[in-house]
């Protein structure tokens, strides 16, 4: 015999299943932009995203790196890029920026990552869907986030904050994709 609380439990399970169904109907990872185009750093990207590659920025003097950059892409981005040579709309790239320190180790002179400085986040948007937002344009949404503040960007205008430095990557949709072994065949 079904007692009232068993029925309530069953109802709850049904509601949960419906909610899961609704979530499953939304393709891809959780969006990183709100309706106005404000971006945030996707939670758990280190596990949920695909590792693209790393950059080591050499120190101004002496051996070793002063910064390490680790770049991740939203699920499916690598396979799609290999197929078409471009990231599909909605692809999210996260570049994690860390300080680095250098020491003599048994493998040689070695740098390793230390403190998190923050993140660059870019979202592919070839249709330029936020024409009035100064952080969107040229096929991407663009933002920087200081460490500890993954929900609120300090960027105000991608032309000023990003675009000048990405000019050399014009031929590859403004991103430095030739630097990622995982994207090459």
Q: Count of CB atoms within 10 A of residue 52's CB?
A: 22
* Local structure of residue 157 (DSSP, 8 states): -
Helices (H) and strands (E) in the chain, counts: 5, 6
d(CA 125, CA 133): 13
Task: Give min distance, CB of 55 to ligand HEC, in A.
Answer: 4
Mark out the alpha helices in 40-144 (DSSP H runs): 45-48, 77-84
Measured distance CA(157)–CA(162) in Å, rounded: 8
One symbol per residue from 46 to 85: x for binding ligand HEC (CB under 6 A), - otherwise; what is it?
---------x-x-----------x-x--------------
Relative to beta strand 92-105, strand 108-124 is antiparallel
Radius of gyration of the chain (CA): 21
Q: Quick check: 161 binds ligand HEC (CB under 6 A)?
A: yes
Count of residues that interact with ligand HEC, criterion CB under 6 A: 21
**Segment near ligand HEC (CB under 6 A), from 1-9, 74-82, 108-116, 156-164?**
156-164
Which one among 102, 110, 176, 182 touches ligand HEC, defined by CB under 6 A? 176
User: Interacting stretch for ligand HEC, rule CB under 6 A, among 7-15, 20-28, 81-89, 137-145?
Assistant: 137-145
Instruction: List residues near ligand HEC by CB under 6 A.
Output: 55, 57, 69, 71, 93, 95, 120, 122, 142-144, 155, 158, 161-162, 165-166, 169, 175-176, 179
């Amino acid at each position: 015999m079904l007692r009232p609380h068993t029925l309530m439990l069953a109802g709850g399970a049904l509601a949960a299943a419906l909610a899961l169904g609704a979530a499953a109907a939304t393709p891809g990872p959780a969006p990183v932009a709100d309706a106005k185009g404000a971006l945030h750093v996707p939670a758990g990207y280190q596990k949920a995203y695909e590792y693209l590659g790393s950059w080591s920025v050499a120190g101004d003097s002496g051996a070793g790196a002063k910064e390490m950059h680790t770049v991740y892409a939203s699920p499916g981005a690598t396979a799609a890029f290999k197929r078409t040579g471009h990231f599909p709309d909605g692809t999210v790239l996260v570049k994690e920026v860390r300080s680095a320190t250098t020491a003599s180790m048994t493998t040689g002179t070695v740098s390793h990552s230390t403190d998190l400085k923050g993140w660059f986040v870019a979202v592919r948007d070839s249709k330029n869907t936020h024409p009035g937002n100064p952080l969107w344009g040229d096929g991407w949404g663009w933002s920087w986030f200081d460490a500890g503040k993954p929900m609120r960007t300090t960027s105000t205008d991608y032309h000023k904050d990003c675009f000048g430095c990405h000019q050399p990557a014009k031929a590859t949709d403004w991103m430095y994709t030739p630097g990622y072994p995982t994207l090459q065949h």
